[in-house]
A and B are shown apart, each in its own frame.
Chain A
Amino acid sequence: MPLLTVTDLRTHFHTRNGVYRAVDGVSFTIERGETLGIVGESGSGKSVTGYSLMGLVPTPPGRIEGGTAVFDGVDLLHCTPAEARAIRGKRVAMIFQDPMTSLNPYLRIADQLIEPLLIHQDIGRAEALRRGLEMLVAVGINDAARRMHLYPHEFSGGMRQRVMIAMALITRPELLIADEPTTALDVTVQAQILELIQKLQRELGMAVIFITHDLGVISGLCDRVQVMYAGRIVETADTRTLFKAPRHPYTRALQRSIPSLQQKGAELYTIQGMPPDLSKPLPGCPFAARCEFALPKCVETPVHLREEVPGHSHACLRAQLGEI
């Protein structure tokens, strides 16, 4: 049985300008120890998917309209607050692009680091501090015994990212949701953080949902990838298949956009147009307006993620009909 099974998740934002279907019928599973990549351009609903699982959707204007998210037998979207507390922040943790989202600027690192232990586990402060120090060492903070008594602003960007990871992992979660944790960092620091996540994943056997817009990061890290567009999953496959034999035109366009794969000096490939307005009805494929293969039927006909070969699904009508 998968560790997490998400079925038909719908999270919408009710604003003065209309109802934005940020996540619009997302279904996926993740096994224990597996690394699942979620890729897509900004605004495609990657973060809101993570927030929905963590109970972090700002309500209002956001609202989870439907769906289930069953983690080890418990539906996170419909369980009691006590059941949710026992899972979120303990067995499922999330890290963010901006570490200051999870760090309190007015608290010493040590105090915020051990807070989840004091809440979730029946241990004393001294033991919690010992575990906190151990975790800081594990994420590669030099001189951790002294530095754990400093404030977040006394750390560099890369170090704050490590502290946030230490905080997320201190309860030894079974699932980590990593939302673009390296997007704002230098490539050298990104390499350190990715290596760290992989090492801790091996040691703790945890599953990771890695959210990014960078296909390069996905290729080395993830077992499986799903591509999101306009709040929906348009393609999912094991990483190698997704890179070698993408079927959905959006996945292909994303791949063509990678600068290093393009001929030097030539115009960089750009995907024409803009993502659709999520408050307007989109009966057919949300990518149709920008797709070079689209026919009138693509705009009108509802299309669903369908498995083409075991493990490889996509939501392109024309590919499903064998036309492209």
Chain B
Amino acid sequence: MPEPILELRDVKTHFPVTHGFIHRRLVGTVRAVDGVTLSIARGEVLGLVGESGCGKSTLARTILQLVPVTGGAIILEGRNLTSGTAAEIQEVRRDLQMVFQDPYASLNPRMTVFDTLAEPLRVHRVAAPADIPGRVARLMELVGLAPRYMRKYPHEFSGGQRQRIAIARALALEPKVIIADEPVSALDVSIQAQILNLLAQLGRRMNLSLIFIAHDLSVVKHISDRVAVMYLGKIVELGPAVEVIERPLHPYTRALVSAIPNANPDTERTRQRIVLPGDPPSPMNPPAGCSFHPRCPFALEKCRAAVPPLLPADHQRTVACVRLGEI
């Protein structure tokens, strides 16, 4: 594998849960991200999937230092972000950018497109004031927006166009990694494909690494090189996108894939679907051992005994299931 640009080593993000306003008592801990190890190569697209609440957004926010990390290391091109000084982190943050699900909430409604895109250029002093209008125009063209709309406000654009502005803002500082957290979930189906094409095309053109968080597995399969499947704060399966989604190994991935309705009336009516019982358990009191065992059709006594490690299942794939060889 090529040199990784970003590496996560046993990253944990826990949130304390307290009760009472004056005398705050600690009543528990939400283990939102609970020991994630992975790496992403330059130019690679890594899909991150899992049910809502499994910790995808928290992992993204942790990488960007938007929430404090509880443990582990986040290494960008050899620099450990978890132990850097504020100035170092500020410097490194330029290389990491994020695109959020709701482009309306993430754009300042009182700033024009020009101000939104010029701000990072000014703050990080990457362009002389005289060059800024030209840079903004080029950013807009890059994401398929006509520069003549530069003086307009976010509400004057459609949802898809707003997401283009958010992508342009993320690109302003020429980052190395972009984390896109469900960037198309709030958009119309017909617009989704346009934004996905844009992200894929920009990734290739600028040799960007992209962490693409989504819950639509068919979209993830389409644009990702590799996919990581998360359950209750942990990665349970990681491997090439096509392999993971067409031949899932972990029982949770199997259920997730089997739940995708497929657009073929002949096979859809006859295939055996795995319907998981219930909701994922709370990350405050995760079940002992493999946290998937209460919903897993293959669970045995030994699944409760210890947390299964993520181990190589074949030459390209790692899976966290002790029954892997047996099921």
Chains A and B bind each other: yes
Hey, which bits of chain A sit against chain B, CB under 8 A?
41-42, 142, 156-159, 186-192, 194-195, 213-220, 239-240, 243, 255, 257-262, 264-265, 267-271
B255 and A188 within 8 A (CB): yes
Q: List 5 A-B contacts (CB under 8 A).
A: A42-B188, A187-B217, A220-B268, A257-B193, A267-B200
Choose among B196, B219, B255, B259 the residue with the greatest number of A CB atoms under 10 Å from its CB. B259
B242 located at the interface, meaning its Cβ lies under 8 Å from any Cβ of chain A in the complex: yes
Contact yes or no, A158 B279, CB < 8 A: yes
B273 contacts chain A at the CB level, 8 A cutoff: yes
> What would 10 more interface pairs be, CB under 8 Å, given A186-B215, A216-B263, A260-B221?
A157-B52, A188-B51, A188-B256, A190-B259, A191-B275, A216-B261, A216-B262, A220-B262, A240-B266, A260-B262
**Which of A156, A261, A265, A268 is B193 in contact with, Cβ under 8 Å?**
A268
Chain A residue with Cβ nearest B187? A42
Chain B residues with Cβ below 8 Å from A268 are 193, 196-197, 222
Complex contact A264–B242 (CB within 8 A): yes
- Are B193 and A269 closer than 8 Å at their CB atoms? yes
Enumerate the 4 nearest inter-chain pairs by beta-carbon distance, A residue then B residue, closest first.
A216-B261, A220-B268, A260-B218, A191-B259
Contact call B189/A213, Cβ cutoff below 8 A:
yes
Of the residues B189, B215, B217, B264, contact of A257 by C-beta under 8 Å: B189
Most chain A CB inside 10 Å of its own CB: which residue of B256, B265, B276? B265
Give B190-215 interface residues, CB cut-off 8 Å to A. Answer: 190, 193-194, 196-197, 200-201, 215
B264 with A243: CB separation less than 8 A: yes
**Residues from chain B with Cβ under 8 Å of A270 in the complex:** 190, 193-194, 197
Closest B residue by C-beta to A273: B190
In the bound complex, residues from chain B placing their C-beta under 8 Å from that of A192 are: 275-276
A268 to B258, CA, bound (A): 23
**A contact residues around B261 at 8 Å (CB):** 190-191, 194, 214, 216-217, 219-220
The reply to whether the CB of B148 lies closer than 8 angstroms to some CB of chain A is no
Output the nearest chain A residue to B189 by Cβ-Cβ distance.
A213
Q: How many residues of B contact A (CB 8 A)?
A: 38
A78 to B: closest C-beta gap in Å: 35
In the assembled complex, which residues on chain A have CB atoms less than 8 Å from the CB atom of B51?
A: 186, 188-189
Distance (whole angstroms) from the CB of A256 to the closest CB of chain B: 10
Residues in B whose Cβ lies below 8 Å from that of A239: 265
| From A156, A188, A264, contact of B222 by CB (8 A) | A264
How distant is the Cα of A240 from the Cα of B265 in the complex, in angstroms? 6
| Interface check B23, CB cutoff 8 A | no
Question: Whose C-beta in chain A lies nearest to the C-beta of B220?
Answer: A259
Minimum Cβ distance to chain B for residue A154 (Å): 13
Contact B193–A187 (Cβ < 8 Å): no
Whether B279 lies near A159 (C-beta < 8 A) is yes
Give residues 220-253 of B contacting A (CB, 8 Å): 221-222, 241-242
Per DSSP, are chain B's interface residues mostly helix, strand or loop, or mixed? helix
Q: List the A side residues contacting B263 at CB < 8 Å.
A: 215-216, 218-219, 243, 255, 258, 260-261
Flag if B279 contacts A41 (CB, 8 Å): no
- In the complex, the chain A residue whose C-beta lies closest to that of B204 is A265
Bound state CA distance, A32 and B264, in angstroms? 25
B279 touches A156 (CB 8 A): yes
How many angstroms between the C-alpha atoms of A107 and B276 in the bound complex? 30
Q: Which residues of A contact B19 (CB under 8 A)?
A: none
Query: Most B CB atoms within 10 A — which of A41, A191, A257, A262?
Result: A191
Contacts of A216 in B (CB 8 A): 260-263, 268
Minimal Cβ-Cβ distance residue in A for B242 = A264
With the chains together, A262 CA to B216 CA distance in Å?
15
B315 CB–A CB distance under 8 Å: no
B129 part of interface (Cβ distance < 8 Å): no
When distances are taken between beta carbons in the complex, the residues of chain A under 8 Å from B276 are: 188, 191-192
Complex Cα distance, B195 from A270, in Å, reads: 10
A258: chain B residues within 8 A (beta carbon): 218, 263
Known contacts A195-B275, A219-B262, A264-B242; is-contact A259 B190 (Cβ 8 Å): no
* Residues of B contacting A265 in the complex (Cβ-Cβ under 8 angstroms): 222
B residues less than 8 Å from A269 (CB atoms):
193
How many Å lie between the Cα of A24 and that of B227 in the bound state?
Answer: 44
Bound CA–CA A313/B269 (angstroms):
24
Q: What's the least CB distance linking A264 to chain B, in Å?
A: 6
CB distance from B84 to the nearest CB of A (A): 36
Which residues of the other chain, A, contact B264 by a CB distance below 8 angstroms? 219, 243
Q: Does any Cβ of A come within 8 Å of B78's Cβ?
A: no
Q: Is B278 an interface residue (CB 8 A)?
A: yes
Q: In the complex the two chains form, what is the Cα distance from A255 to B189 in whole Å? A: 12
Nearest CB in chain A to that of B219: its residue = A259
A260 to B221, CA, bound (A): 8
On whether the beta carbons of A187 and B221 are closer than 8 Å, the reply is no
Given contacts A220-B261, A220-B265, A260-B262, contact A187 B190 (CB under 8 A): no
List chain A residues, Cβ under 8 A from B200.
267
- Distance in Å from the Cβ of B20 to the closest Cβ of chain A? 20
Q: Choose among A159, A239, A268 the residue with the greatest number of B CB atoms under 10 Å from its CB.
A: A268
Q: Which residue of chain B lies nearest to A240 when distances are taken between CB atoms in the complex?
A: B265
Return the chain A residue nearest B258 by Cβ. A191
